[in-house]
Amino acid sequence: MNTINTMTALTIDTLKVQLKEWKGCDLAKTACAVLGEGNANAEIMFIGEAPGEQEDKLGRPFVGPAGKFLDELLNSIGLKREDVYISNVVKYRPPANRDPTPEEKAACMPWLKMEIALIKPRIIVPLGRHALGHFFQKLSITEAHGKPQKLTDSVTVFPIYHPAAALHNGGLRQALYDDFKALKSFLDAQK
């Protein structure tokens, strides 16, 4: 099935079932579908790049080494995975974890849009440049990380480096902790 059926009543669970049948992205030939997961009423939604090896095996987002670090970062500001919703721009693992192509990102975009429409987060946290590019094509993650960006009257985008970046470049670890601290201050100021 290459089309997406938007006529059935949509929930995250029905989306998951539909995504498994969808073949509109070439990556579906070599990888398993991984939709987002988490609290369907979450105020905060985290968006990564694409599943990696563990995510492809288990069919769940952020369950490998980058996911373990994301859990640590969430815990550092008093949040648990169950409090938030976590997804990806691309719904399949690119071979050998290469960067997703513009075509793959465009093909998977309707799924991310439907997830955002269902969750209705108040704060969207793009993790890294691929997710940031979905919202603001001209912003660089190096300049924008840790700084809230208004998307609409009711939605703020709060870009943060991808946790996997700190696994390759230890110098970014502290920047990620600092950005999560800034995210917490931003959240607290909204109360």
User: Cα separation of 156 and 66, whole Å?
Assistant: 24
Distance of closest approach, residue 153 Cβ to ligand URA, in angstroms = 29
Phi, psi angle pair for 98, to nearest 5°: -65, 165
Please, are residues 180 and 70 in contact by the beta-carbon 8 Å criterion? no
Element (H, E) at 151: none
Give the residue with the Cβ less far from ligand URA, 121 or 128: 128
**Residue 88 β-bridge partners:** 48
Give the residue with the Cβ less far from ligand URA, 58 or 77: 58
Token look-up 């579906």 returns 28
Give the residue with the Cβ less far from ligand URA, 8 or 101: 101
User: Cα separation of 167 and 73, whole Å?
Assistant: 13
Give the residue with the Cβ less far from ligand URA, 101 or 185: 101
- DSSP for 39-81? -TT-SEEEEES---HHHHHHT-SS-SHHHHHHHHHHHHTT--G
The residue with its CB nearest to ligand URA is 48
The residues of the shown chain that bind ligand URA, judged by CB under 6 A, are 48-52, 55, 61-62, 64, 66-67, 88, 164
Distance of closest approach, residue 37 Cβ to ligand URA, in angstroms = 10
Q: Let me know if 59 is exposed, middle or buried by CB neighbors in 10 A (0-12, 13-18, 19+).
A: middle
Give the residue with the Cβ less far from ligand URA, 22 or 92: 92
Give the residue with the Cβ less far from ligand URA, 52 or 146: 52
Distance of closest approach, residue 164 Cβ to ligand URA, in angstroms = 5
Instruction: Look up residue 140 and give its two tokens.
Output: 């660089």
Distance of closest approach, residue 182 Cβ to ligand URA, in angstroms = 21
